[in-house]
Amino acid sequence: MSETNPYDSFRQISIMLEKGLNGLLFQSINNNPLIQVTKIGIEANSRYIELLKRNRELMANYMNLPTKNDVANAVKQTMQAEEKIDILEEQIWNLQDQFTLATQEQNKVLGEILDFTKHIHMEWQKASQELAALTQVKSEFEQMKKLLEKEKKEPVLAAK
């Protein structure tokens, strides 16, 4: 007696079943009347599904309920709005940065103006003091001039 492996017999049975099923499948695929009946059934079913979709949309509109298209449009518009908000946020951040830089520059210019104004004020005070000193020197000079003229005239009068 020869020893048989149970897996070999199982394999042979599987191969025979596979060949049988493949043959049956090829026969059913090549069966033209079956294909025609399946095609008619699919067409009828697709028309029925389209009719159901239209009726569902009509009923949803009549009952004022959102449809699948309405929800899809709302989601699309929401996404567009979010994108626009993101763009606006970015623009606002840029404007804030520019405003901060402009404020810093303005503060710098104002500081320079204040320093310049202080410098001009100090120069004005110096000029005012120098003018006062010059005015006093001028008045003293004129007094001396008058005295000299007086002395010049008096000795002449005294000599006569």
151: containing domain = 78-160
- CA dist 46 and 40 (Å) reads 10
For residue range 101-139, what is the model confidence (pLDDT) as tens digits? Answer: 999 999 999 999 999 999 999 999 999 999 999 999 999
Q: Count CA atoms within 13 Å of residue 19 on its CB side.
A: 6
**Is residue 84's pLDDT more than 60?**
yes
For residue range 18-53, what is the model confidence (pLDDT) as tens digits? Answer: 998 888 887 777 777 777 888 899 999 999 999 998
Within a domain: 16: no
Name residues whose C-beta falls within 8 Å of residue 59's C-beta, 6 or more positions apart in sequence: 65
Within a domain: 145: yes
Give the chain's radius of gyration (CA, Å).
Answer: 56
Q: What φ, ψ does residue 120 adopt, rounded to 5°?
A: -65, -40
pLDDT of residue 33: 79
Q: How many domains does the chain have?
A: 1
Within a domain: 11: no
Query: pTM here?
Result: 0.43
pLDDT of residue 156: 53
Within a domain: 155: yes
